């Protein structure tokens, strides 16, 4: 009989390197395979499932739905309430929202809104920035290897070194529509923006009439220990892009904008955007997150990782529960070894092991993860 992995490999386009474990069930921070093995989840569906698996409020939101499909042209009370909630939790001044279905769609929409609003085309991003894999978001993304097979991408996109204000200043001008940044680069290796840099970027954008787009697809919804990474920087962006943790695993994205952003009717839309399944789960997610975020054990996890003694570790870094151990060697075999020790983690570039557990991970679970990491590194 074909294994689950064999079947997926037989019928699915060969885009993903598949691991040798088939998951069938999740409970809080644990995942279970078809053979009954238990794993500690430090992947959370790539930073999506922030409340963990089988959260009761999320399950209730799904089970108690009265309606799933309701296009944006027909108002609905659940969607109306979610829009109100999103505006109340996102950074001050962001008071209009567009709903979509994924991170890349949020970035695509943000690029369109920025170009339409300013009438300009130039967009400046950062080295190691990642914003998605459709044409607009891929153009904003830095990594050459994932872009070169699809060229030409969109014109007008530029990348400058992250955290280097002088380089940014050289390229941003009054012909620029927007600067797009992650405050903590996720796929780029869990790298934090400096506070001083972010403040200077905001001032520069203001002085030139350039919009500042912050991509909070990975950092949003509690991942960094606050609802949004912007809060660590006291930052008021013009646009933020949201997805991943917004509905704890139900596909959803959003763009929140301030009153500088102009649109016109039907210049952009999405069939599934604002569907009631996603809105209802997102509402439950936001109220659960307000309870969970103050209890997060991110500092404990970071401290434990920092106390690890191994000559293979170059650096440990991160914030909240967006953490990384950069190795001096390729991390792929270590990720596999961790999985053999019943811990699922992620990569972020060749040398970086990334931990994005559900925000409810306990100290005991963190102890197990770090001791397994220590075991496989030594
Ligand atoms: N932006 C950031 C910062 C991301 O980390 C990602 C995905 O990892 C995306 C955009 C793209 O999101 P999606 O995979 O939902 O299209």
Q: How far is the CA of 266 from the centre of ligand 1 (A)?
A: 25
> b vs e for 233-252, b when ≥16 Cβ sit within 10 Å of the residue's Cβ?
bebebbbbbbbbbbbbbbbb
Q: Rounded to the nearest 5 degrees, what angle is found at the Cα of 220, between the Cα atoms of 350 and 105?
A: 80
Q: How far is the CA of 243 from the centre of ligand 1 (A)?
A: 8
Atom of ligand 1 nearest to the CA of 104: 16
Tokens standing for residue 177: 């529509």
Using CB distances shorter than 6 Å, the residues near ligand 1 are 102-104, 107, 130-132, 182, 186-187, 215, 217-218, 243
The sheet that has 96-100: what strands, in order across it? Answer: 96-100, 253-257, 239-242, 211-215, 176-181, 122-126, 157-160
Q: How far is the CA of 100 from the centre of ligand 1 (A)?
A: 13
Mean pLDDT, all residues of the chain: 98
Distances (CA, A) of 350 to 332, 336, 346: 7, 14, 11
For the cut 80, the answer to whether the pLDDT of residue 1 exceeds it is no
Q: How far is the CA of 184 from the centre of ligand 1 (A)?
A: 13
Nearest protein Cα to ligand 1, atom 13: 103
The sheet that has 30-33: what strands, in order across it? Answer: 23-27, 30-33, 38-41, 343-344
Nearest protein Cα to ligand 1, atom 7: 132
Residue 2 binned pLDDT confidence (cut-offs 50, 70, 90): confident
In 3D, which of 238, 242, 228, 248 has the Cα closest to residue 273? 242
Out of 136, 243, 245, 273, mutate this one to test ligand 1's pocket (max ligand atoms within 8 Å of CB): namely 243
Give the C-alpha separation, 295 to 289, whole Å: 10
Q: Which tens digits make up the pLDDT trace of 24-35?
A: 999 999 999 999
- Residue 211's pLDDT is 99
Q: With beta carbons less than 8 A apart as the criterion, state whether 184 and 229 touch.
A: yes
**Residue 286 neighbours by CB distance under 10 Å:** 21
List of residues 6+ apart from 123 with CB closer than 8 A: 111, 114, 139, 140, 156, 157, 158, 176, 177, 178, 179, 180
Q: How far is the CA of 172 from the centre of ligand 1 (A)?
A: 24
Q: What is the CA radius of gyration of the chain?
A: 21
Nearest protein Cα to ligand 1, atom 5: 218
Q: How far is CA 314 from the centre of its chain?
A: 24
Q: Which tens digits make up the pLDDT trace of 324-374?
A: 999 999 999 999 999 999 999 999 999 999 999 999 999 999 999 999 999
Burial of 364 (0-12, 13-18, 19+ CB in 10 A): exposed
Q: Which long-range contacts (CB under 8 A, 24 or more apart) does 35-40 make?
A: 37/342, 38/342, 39/339, 39/342, 39/343, 39/344, 40/342, 40/343, 40/344, 40/357, 40/361, 40/365, 40/368, 40/369
Give the C-alpha separation, 256 to 288, whole Å: 21
Out of 131, 135, 137, 270, mutate this one to test ligand 1's pocket (max ligand atoms within 8 Å of CB): namely 131
Out of 43, 129, 132, 215, mutate this one to test ligand 1's pocket (max ligand atoms within 8 Å of CB): namely 132
- Residue 8's pLDDT is 97
Q: Which tens digits make up the pLDDT trace of 43-83?
A: 999 999 999 999 999 999 999 999 999 999 999 999 999 99
Atom of ligand 1 nearest to the CA of 137: 10
Q: With beta carbons less than 8 A apart as the criterion, state whether 276 and 252 touch.
A: no
Atom of ligand 1 nearest to the CA of 243: 15
Q: How far is the CA of 252 from the centre of ligand 1 (A)?
A: 12
- Residue 75's pLDDT is 98
In 3D, which of 288, 230, 192 has the Cα closest to residue 94? 230
Q: Which tens digits make up the pLDDT trace of 83-119?
A: 999 999 999 999 999 999 999 999 999 999 999 999 9
Give the C-alpha separation, 83 to 50, whole Å: 20
Nearest protein Cα to ligand 1, atom 1: 131
Atom of ligand 1 nearest to the CA of 253: 15
Q: How far is the CA of 1 from the centre of ligand 1 (A)?
A: 36
Q: How far is CA 318 from the centre of its chain?
A: 14
Q: How far is the CA of 315 from the centre of ligand 1 (A)?
A: 24
């Amino acid at each position: 009989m074909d294994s689950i992995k064999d079947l997926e490999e037989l019928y699915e386009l060969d885009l993903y390197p598949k691991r040798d474990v088939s998951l069938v069930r999740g409970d809080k921070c644990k995942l279970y395979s078809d053979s009954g093995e238990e794993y500690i989840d430090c992947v959370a569906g790539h930073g999506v499932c922030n409340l963990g698996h089988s959260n009761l409020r999320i399950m209730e939101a799904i089970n108690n739905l009265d309606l799933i499909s309701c296009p944006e042209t027909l108002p609905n009370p659940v969607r109306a309430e979610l829009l109100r909630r999103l505006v109340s939790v996102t950074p001050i001044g962001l008071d209009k929202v567009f709903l979509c279905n994924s991170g890349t769609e949020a970035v695509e929409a943000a690029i369109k809104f920025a170009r339409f609003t300013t009438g300009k085309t130039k967009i400046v991003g950062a080295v190691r920035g990642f914003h998605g894999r459709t044409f607009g978001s891929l153009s904003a993304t830095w990594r050459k290897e994932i872009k070169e097979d699809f060229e030409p991408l969109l014109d007008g996109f530029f990348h400058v070194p992250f955290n280097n204000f002088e380089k940014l200043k050289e390229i941003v001008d009054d012909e620029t529509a927007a600067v797009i940044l992650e405050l903590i680069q996720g796929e780029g290796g869990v790298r934090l923006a400096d506070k001083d840099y972010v403040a200077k970027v905001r001032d520069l954008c203001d002085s030139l009439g350039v919009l500042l787009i912050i991509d909070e697809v990975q950092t949003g919804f509690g991942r960094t220990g606050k609802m949004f990474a912007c809060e660590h920087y006291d930052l008021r962006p013009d646009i933020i892009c949201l997805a991943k943790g917004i509905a704890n695993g139900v596909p959803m994205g959003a763009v929140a904008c301030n009153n500088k952003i102009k649109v016109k009717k039907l210049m952009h839309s999405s069939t599934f955007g604002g569907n009631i399944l996603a809105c209802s789960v997102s509402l439950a997610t936001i109220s659960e997150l307000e309870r969970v975020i103050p209890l997060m054990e991110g500092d404990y996890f970071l401290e434990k990782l920092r106390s690890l003694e191994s000559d293979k570790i170059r650096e440990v870094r991160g914030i909240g529960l967006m953490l990384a151990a950069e190795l001096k060697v390729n991390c792929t075999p270590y990720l596999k070894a961790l999985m053999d020790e019943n811990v699922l983690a992620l990569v972020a570039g060749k040398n970086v092991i990334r931990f994005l557990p559900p925000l409810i991970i306990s100290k005991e679970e963190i102890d197990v993860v770090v001791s397994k990491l220590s075991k496989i590194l030594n």
